[in-house]
Chains A and B, each alone.
Chain A
């Protein structure tokens, strides 16, 4: 009964909060991933040498 109340009490608001959380998370996740893709490599990692092929 208490678990049921925990889920069903203010159910609409809880669903709205979940939806907002997914949207927010997805937006931030996409933005950080895009930033990571656009960011230049740190200079220490950059090299002109060809890859070491055995």
Chain B
């Protein structure tokens, strides 16, 4: 076996094995990173085209084309940065986010404020779009907003979202227990596979969640249904308990003992975006994929 490997890899079989294993780990994590992103199709297509072209030029010995590909390959790194700009930004932000200042107790209080607000507004069917800012500053993502800067309380949030109020339309941005902005216009999702019944509020929630690491909570004006959007995925029809569990899971600092290098790498690379359809509907304990707009 060693002789067979030596015939392929030369005398340093172990060195070659280590190099291949390191390369494989790198390729695996890049594949995991790419798989859940919006640019996955573009990236796969581009890679496939490049590989096919390289193989063709190698087999037909097309020297000029081979030289051109060799010249263009380093430039493709810029292309990758452009395609995956939101993901790279989110990943870098996560790297710098140490969660030193927000204690678990404060975060629990903030979560309760949101839960109480959602409960009240869902009961009386008042529409709500609330963005919880995390490591990325949302001011770049919002086109216009009215600075508020006050302590977030259920009463205050209810006041803001009350119909016919001057700042009731648009989203409210909350960070560290404070309402930063109100009446913010968020970017709408450009995904093509969204159901026609999805309103502007939900599309805006999905849009911002695709661009940033913010958590968005939505209350439907028509049905009073509660939804949340995170990392490019909207989960509709959740209960208050489910929302509380989700917010606690995402906002409360993780226990120190679970922070192994593997989990750290997974949170950084693997779990940052979810593949598949953008909208899921919760029915009991199960999540159902919402059918595409072209289906009956």
Contacts and interface: CB of A to CB of B under 8 A. Distances in A.
Size category, B interface: 10 to 19
Contact of A21 (B9, B10, B20, B35): B20
Given A17-B24, A18-B24, A20-B24, A25 B31 contact: no
A8 interface: no
Contact of A25 (B19, B25, B32): B19
Interface in A15-38: 16-18, 20-22, 24-26, 29
B150 interface: no
Contact of A20 (B9, B10, B16, B27): B27
B16 A16 contact: no
B32 A21 contact: no
Interface string B27-42: 1100110010000000
Contact of A14 (B26, B28, B35): B28
Nearest to A22: B20
A52 to B, nearest CB: 28
A17 B20 contact: no
Size category, A interface: 10 to 19
Contacts of A13: 28, 31-32, 35
Contacts of B25: 17
A10 B26 CA distance: 15
Contact of A29 (B9, B24, B31): B9
A22 B25 CA distance: 12
Given A17-B27, A29-B9, A10 B32 contact: yes
A29 B8 CA distance: 10
B43 to A, nearest CB: 14
Contacts of A26: 8
Interface string B48-87: 0000000000000000000000000000000000000000
Please name the 8 residue pairs, one residue from A and one from B, whose CB atoms are nearest each other, closest first: A21-B24, A17-B28, A21-B23, A17-B27, A18-B24, A17-B24, A21-B20, A25-B20
30 contacts: A10-B28, A10-B32, A13-B28, A13-B31, A14-B24, A14-B28, A16-B31, A17-B24, A17-B25, A17-B27, A17-B28, A17-B31, A18-B20, A18-B24, A20-B23, A20-B24, A20-B27, A21-B20, A21-B21, A21-B23, A21-B26, A21-B27, A22-B20, A24-B23, A24-B27, A25-B16, A25-B20, A25-B23, A29-B9, A29-B16
